[in-house]
Structure 1
Amino acid sequence: MGCDDPTMLVSTEWLAAHLKDPDLRVLDASWYLPGAGRNPRAEYDAAHIPGARFFDIDEIADLRSDMPHMAPPVEKFIARMRAMGVGDGHHVVVYDGAGIYSAPRVWWTFRLMGKTDVAVLDGGLPKWQSEGRAVENTPPVMRDRHMTVQRQAQLVKDVTEVAAASKLGDHAILDARSPGRFAGTEPEPRPGIRGGHIPGARNVHYETLLNPDGTMKSPDSLRTVFAAAGVDLSKPAITFCGTGVTAAIINLALERIGHRDHALYDGSWTEWGMYGDLPVATGGA
């Protein structure tokens, strides 16, 4: 399949062909908004791709922060991956139960830790199951595996860096949320968060990067989406969303079109919208 790149995006055909490779590790990174009424762990326990481990985005995180699922400290990431039997020399494929939704967040987390041998399953579990491929309900046998991490600090931005980028206009700031939340006309799902967007941001709703079957659009189609949103791809990019999950879909799309200079604002709108001293823009881009 033309989409297969083991450092980015692989097809269900590719995964099926490599599923029994001894150094392949498959992660179920399903996660949903609280209002979705879905329990990702329960769904994993009921049916997952054979051999898959469950990656808990809310737990493999910096729980010292009052922000949801911030990137985990290096030591915690290493400890959790080691216990899951994921380590050096492994090729990791991440999927989720929505198609492409939360899996890119875990792809980005691995990249943040200096791990580039990681890809998202294009179309995720829905495509896998629609093709009649095998699932199982038993957990895999996991043996500790040593992991070496070199954190890539340039891949994540904090609020101070984003505020400077917004003021200077030297980055393309890309908001993955819906047009209504971007414009401030749709309420935020979390109480106490202002509506609107970071001044200077462009709205690239994550759904516009995907095909109806949940796979990611072709590089040419992605470029068209970015152009239509008024994104200046000559600038380094910073992505954000509500809590830093769907923002990573934009990072994956940027990587797919060869735009390598991109970072994710981990606090995202939950942080920016909480602080009254930070400027907020409303209306369309």
Structure 2
Amino acid sequence: MGSNPHLIPPEALSGLLGSDGLSIVDASWYLPAQNRDARAEFLEGHIPGAVFFDQDAVVDPAASLPHSLPSPEVFAAAVGRLGIRETDSIVVYDGMGLFSAPRVWWLFRTFGAKDVRILDGGFPDWRAAGLTIRSGEAVLQPRQFTPHFDAGAVVALAEMREHVSAGDVQIADARSRERFEGRAPEPRAGVRSGHMPGARSLPFTELVADGRLKPSEGLRQAFAGAGLDPAAPVVTSCGSGVTAAVISLALASLGNDAAKLYDGSWTEWGSASDTPVETGPAPVRP
């Protein structure tokens, strides 16, 4: 999949190790049910030169929701401490192949980095290829990251209410179909089950095969199966804003760089007392 400008194969990244202006970011993050410790795994083994991006720490410190988008200043300070500049060539990966890395890919792009790619197959494929692995803490050399925030990439609750009311944009929900339809409880207490009116179910797992983003034809089939047009305006959503970015990556890979991400996602929508919620399958479009 070297033709996808948003991905880089392990062998290609291996050949760039040590290059000036290259930043490698371990963006591993796991659900509690997965029973994995991302930081401990980083210390045990990571790509040489990589730094660990803590998705639970680089957030809006005043927000009550998980993974809330930080301010440009908070993001810039955090990644600057990790030694990353907005002008760097940034490669992001995770420990599942393709799960949490797209969220950090999206964050860097949203805050102004221009050259951001995801390691195709993630750390599992790097390890399987027998490429060099380092252990221990990263050696940090703080840099200046100058943010250029793209406010148009993010949707907040008030705007999401307007979109749902008007039905003027496609909404792609990356959660499991069981959660979308309200047949499975939400993992967070106090969050109602179901989906936003007008939303379409596109579990992120349908865009991924063997820890890699599917080729373009497979992505197109997944969007078509969900009743979504990947060339038209889309807002992506999920449980807390992480796997929504897998859909955003898929859209960008198909040439749609204008998709927006609903940062509060279902945790925010389902927690509110006055937001409309539907259950059951999304209606089949003619």
Shift of 1:131: 1.4
State the distance in 2 between where 1:204 and 1:43 align.
Answer: 30
Shift of 1:80: 1.2
Alpha carbons 2:239, 2:267 under 8 Å: kept: yes
State the distance in 1 between where 2:4 and 2:10 align.
Answer: 10
The residue that corresponds to 1:89 in the other structure is 87
State the distance in 2 between where 1:84 and 1:187 align.
Answer: 37
Match of 2:161, SS state, is: helix
Alpha carbons 1:51, 1:139 under 8 Å: kept: no
Alpha carbons 1:4, 1:14 under 8 Å: kept: no
Of 183, 187, 190, which aligns to 1:189? 187
Shift of 1:4: 4.7
The residue that corresponds to 2:233 in the other structure is 236
Shift of 1:19: 1.8
| CA deviation map 1:69-117 (0-9, x unaligned) | 1111111111111111111431110000011001000011011101121
Matched, 1:219 2:225: no
Matched, 1:2 2:2: yes
State the distance in 2 between where 1:144 and 1:273 align.
Answer: 39
The residue that corresponds to 1:119 in the other structure is 117
Larger mean Cα displacement after TM superposition, 275-284 or 138-147: 138-147
Alignment of 1:1-285 (within 5 A): 2-5=2-5, 8-211=6-209, 213-285=210-282
Between the two proteins, what is the percent identity of the paired residues? 46
What's the RMSD between the two structures over aligned residues? Answer: 1.2
State the distance in 1 between where 2:141 and 2:123 align.
Answer: 25
Amino acid at match of 1:2: G
Amino acid at match of 1:200: G
Instruction: Identify unmatched segments of 5+ residues in structure 2.
Output: none
Amino acid at match of 1:77: F
- Seen in structure 2, the aligned counterparts of structure 1 residues 135 and 201 have a Cα distance that, compared at 3 Å, is same
- Seen in structure 2, the aligned counterparts of structure 1 residues 226 and 145 have a Cα distance that, compared at 3 Å, is same
Shift of 1:227: 0.6
Alpha carbons 1:10, 1:120 under 8 Å: kept: yes
Match of 1:25, SS state, is: strand
Number of aligned residue pairs: give it.
282
Alpha carbons 1:88, 1:145 under 8 Å: kept: no
